[in-house]
Structure 1
């Protein structure tokens, strides 16, 4: 059996549940099987947004992020359901326990996907046999479909799992790349979004194969260090480990600054909070990470220091989002005494490229608007040298009726606790 396992390499699985939310609903209610089903945050509202949909709905043109009215126009018989978080969490927990029975090297990425390192699992069979057994067990016991990518590293395993859906198993070796990977459009490569794809197209990089052959210096000028990293991955190189401890890694990025003099002037305080939010956002962007928790530190004139934090339902990295949450915390916890120092920190960081987002059910429409607003404000700030809307952000912008914890983070906490 050892012939199926490289002597000096790794065998990595990427397990990706297919249309997870809709599949869980169909497993719970078999009458939904074979029908076009979609999950939406507010199905009663005409302006609701599709979160995910079954393959039957996708065949009619229904897509994630599509407005509900448009989806119903494409598919009049679409069955729209509200999300059931407890149901999804329970199914996910069972799926990850099955993975953990194969190997202790399991790294959850989100509620519906994770990596396994089976390099030392020769006694269980060949990689293809292990993948088939896992896929069959998940289907038989949970009635849920999944796709599995098998490769020598995480990046290739992720690409492989996307090649056959639903219920696919794909082996992607380095020798297969010229035939299976490089002909794909560069925008299909994991880690390349629409903006990056457009930039690459602008220099004649249209396929992943073009990226492999591209001038490294030109890529670096265009995309910075990310250009080099993307090219390495396109060549099939990725040394990142399958790290079960990643769910314990709560890194942070923060900035603090002492005021010229102790003050209670709210205009001065808000100006500094905005400055700190900008610095933190810049560092998050440079490191290509996002976070969910914002922490505010207030040091008073007598050196007494307090820290307060809140965890959002969505990942955030923009200056406006960080500033909004920081000012909300400030309004809640400042006691009116003179302030000497302020600090803003974003915690619970993960790489942007490691996120396979389950669409935020509560804030998606708000986020669409925020992205457009942020771009306009950025352009005006560059033109006039300052933000013309700075006074518009002195009010609290975080909705108090939204959940204060992330469904994704709750799930990872559950997985961690199950292991302990």
Structure 2
């Protein structure tokens, strides 16, 4: 989908059409970050992850609205329902993006045009569609023309349309990997496609060979509708030895549960878009409450903080027998769309590195040998 959150806001309020619009967190604060923006705003230089104060400086008449995740989820559901009218082989990868296997469709280009027109006419949402012989090439094609683009990328088109691109333009290659590839003289996608297997494996491990396959248009992953539900939720709960009667007692429980959820997410290579908690009272009445996150996460502190916030918001002050945390709407980390500022990116990378080191030590010497200290 094109500028999905902004497009939904326009669909809900047609008066916003044709105007520079941005969806941003902390709308009233200077530290607010642009989550997404309309193409009219982009023409003025406004970009995703840009600080709100900077965006307003570039575009003084910028209209800014806070995110409405429940409405976005509703439109997402309707979008995927429409896709499933064409084939049962639909694999969602995020709230606004998915794969379809249309092998059985005799005219895939006409099917794409029909889908694009229906989404625009029935939901007032623009989209770009990529068509290819596999998931990777379809994904690359979908990014080549926005908004309202339809692009076909065949293997015979690689030399002309894919190989001249910078290696960082390949889906799945981040900035740090690009810098490392550049360091070894791999600047373009063609350089990667022609690189020696031995050198790639030596420098990047098995991922180096996978990157080369992608550069050559090779991707054997099937469109798998069940993969979206295999790990749709990853959770942990505990029945308490004694009923808790305060948020102070709940906090350490949520921290332990969040650590377990984080470990399972990292082990499977997933991040969560929504955090849910379960509260079971001493009379066995059970409630579940959830919150959709601005950024998909696998961070223990973020999971714990969100869970405790939900608890404080929804706990009815009665004694609690069981607590649980569930990460829902999980997606592969490489497919997650992060709306991060520079500080968040740096923090996430440091946290990921720290977790890997600690996990390695615990595997060798036993769980619980290292405890995190408190910031003062």
- TM-score range (shorter-chain normalised) is 0.7 to 0.9
Of 124, 142, 145, the residue aligned with 1:143 is: 124
Q: CA deviation at 1:316?
A: 3.1
Partner of 2:193: 212
CA distance in 2, matches of 1:90, 1:97: 11
Of 184, 204, 214, the residue aligned with 2:165 is: 184
Partner of 1:391: 374
CA distance in 2, matches of 1:77, 1:205: 43
Counterparts in 2 of 1:110 and 1:206: CA distance versus 1, 3 Å: same
Any conservation in 1 of the 2:137–2:217 contact (CA below 8 Å)?
A: yes
Partner of 1:39: 23
CA distance in 1, matches of 2:175, 2:301: 22
Any conservation in 1 of the 2:90–2:100 contact (CA below 8 Å)?
A: yes
Residue 55 (str. 1) matches residue 39 (str. 2) = yes
Counterparts in 2 of 1:220 and 1:325: CA distance versus 1, 3 Å: farther
Residues 291-319 of structure 1 show CA distances to partners (whole Å, capped at 9, x for unaligned) of 466999xxxxxxxxxxxx99774433356
Q: CA deviation at 1:356?
A: 3.1
Matching of residues 6-155 of structure 1 within 5 Å: 17-122=1-106, 126-155=107-136
Which stretches in structure 2 are left out of the alignment for 5+ residues? 237-251, 279-287, 320-324, 359-368
Residues 334-368 of structure 1 show CA distances to partners (whole Å, capped at 9, x for unaligned) of x9xxxxxxxx99887532122234x38xxx79845
Q: CA deviation at 1:248?
A: 1.8
Aligned residue for 1:391, secondary structure, equals coil
Counterparts in 2 of 1:167 and 1:349: CA distance versus 1, 3 Å: closer
Counterparts in 2 of 1:141 and 1:377: CA distance versus 1, 3 Å: closer
Any conservation in 2 of the 1:295–1:310 contact (CA below 8 Å)?
A: yes
Any conservation in 1 of the 2:275–2:307 contact (CA below 8 Å)?
A: no
Partner of 1:239: 220
CA distance in 1, matches of 2:304, 2:206: 28
Deviates more, 1:216-225 or 1:68-77: 216-225
Aligned residue for 1:52, secondary structure, equals strand
Which stretches in structure 1 are left out of the alignment for 5+ residues? 1-16, 256-269, 297-308, 336-343, 394-420
CA distance in 2, matches of 1:100, 1:36: 33
Any conservation in 2 of the 1:294–1:322 contact (CA below 8 Å)?
A: no
Any conservation in 1 of the 2:69–2:292 contact (CA below 8 Å)?
A: no
Q: CA deviation at 1:371?
A: 3.3
Q: Greater RCO between the two (CA within 8 Å, min separation 6)?
A: 1
